[in-house]
Amino acid sequence: MKTHFLPHLQGDDEERAVCGVWLGEDSGMSGDWSRVDCQRCIKGKAKITQSVASEEAAIVQQMGDMANFIREVQP
């Protein structure tokens, strides 16, 4: 059994791990790097961390735009 990294943005119904491996019933997921033992995830840690950070930034940006939009629409 391998434990892959699971960014908290991803749901439990994800079919593929962040490293691109298809998840099986014997695959574990964790948002805690100290529990991740998948070599592919560990090797790509820097890249994964970066993409998670930029995804989060994009979501924050989107929410900000949405808030601005709502504010503008209301009288």
Interaction of residue 29 with Zn ion, rule CB under 5 A: no
Interaction of residue 45 with Zn ion, rule CB under 5 A: no
Contact 7, 48 (CB under 8 A): yes
Rounded to a whole number of angstroms, the minimum distance from the CB of residue 57 to Zn ion is: 23
Interaction of residue 41 with Zn ion, rule CB under 5 A: yes
Rounded to a whole number of angstroms, the minimum distance from the CB of residue 50 to Zn ion is: 16
Rounded CA Rg of the chain: 16
Rounded to a whole number of angstroms, the minimum distance from the CB of residue 1 to Zn ion is: 12
Contact 17, 24 (CB under 8 A): no
